[in-house]
Amino acid sequence: MTTGDGVAVRAERVSRHYEMGAVVIRAVDDVTLAVRAGEFVALLGSSGSGKSTLLNLMAGLDRPTGGAIFANGRNLSELSSLELARYRSKTVGMVFQSFNLLPRMTLEENVELPLRLAEVDRGERGARVQEALERVKLEKRLSHRPSELSGGEQQRAALARALVNRPTLLFADEPTGNLDSATGESIMLLLKEIQQKLGMTIVMVTHERPLAERFANRIVALADGKLLRDGVKS
């Protein structure tokens, strides 16, 4: 779903400041960014540049201290806690650097978790889980626990979990950060395939420029919480 102008999510002069006693840390400072539907945007920057904070704000995990973020035609800052949870559940899929699978659950249960939270009927869940796991080629590892999977498999499982609710926006925070280069590449290929096949909007945080240049349509560079450069690849 877009805001009507083909934009899937838009940040308008967004700031996220943290007060640490007398010191104010400007993690994101007055950033304006519009991500169009179907785009693969890479947020590039060094550690502490504010890229993950901006991603969290756009994913509805955090609220800005200034400015506004629009998604689904609504200002996320004005949503109630419950509405924001629904936005995360129905519109957003998230992939993290450290996979964040629940270790005591099987792969099937991990992937089913967002469906439980979205109150999807039990009868429908099995097929949805199967579909998501087939997409990441893990359909034969249903009963395995995360500890029984390799890093790459865990990230693929996390990707399946992010996709199971059929979101329109996928936010990935350093998805290859914990993987070797070959496995990281396979994950990036998978993300690209998903973007192209499903027409999904992907916003990915990375500090690896070559990866961003190879897979993203657009690279947005951040430094010290400010937008440094916004470039669409030809």
Site residues for another protein per CB under 8 A: 56, 59, 61-62, 81-82, 85-86, 88-90, 92, 94, 96, 100, 102, 104-105, 113-114, 116-119, 122, 161, 165
Residue 187's φ and ψ, nearest 5 degrees, are -65, -40
Q: Pick from 6, 7, 55, 5: which is nearest to 31 by CA?
A: 55
Q: Choose between 82 and 182: whose C-beta lies nearer to another protein.
A: 82
Q: Choose between 86 and 214: whose C-beta lies nearer to another protein.
A: 86
Q: Is the dihedral of CA 114, 198, 42, 60 positive or negative?
A: negative
Least distance from C-beta 17 to another protein, angstroms?
A: 14
Q: Choose between 102 and 189: whose C-beta lies nearer to another protein.
A: 102
Taking the C-alpha atoms of residue 226 and residue 222, their distance in angstroms, rounded to an integer, is: 6
Least distance from C-beta 160 to another protein, angstroms?
A: 12
Q: Is the dihedral of CA 90, 107, 143, 190 positive or negative?
A: positive
Least distance from C-beta 110 to another protein, angstroms?
A: 10
Least distance from C-beta 152 to another protein, angstroms?
A: 20
Q: Choose between 56 and 201: whose C-beta lies nearer to another protein.
A: 56
Least distance from C-beta 125 to another protein, angstroms?
A: 10
Residue 132's φ and ψ, nearest 5 degrees, are -65, -40
Residue-wise over 183-206: b if at least 16 C-beta within 10 A, else e? bbbbbbebbbebbeebebbbbbbb
Distance of CA 96 to the CA centre of its chain: 8
Q: Choose between 61 and 223: whose C-beta lies nearer to another protein.
A: 61
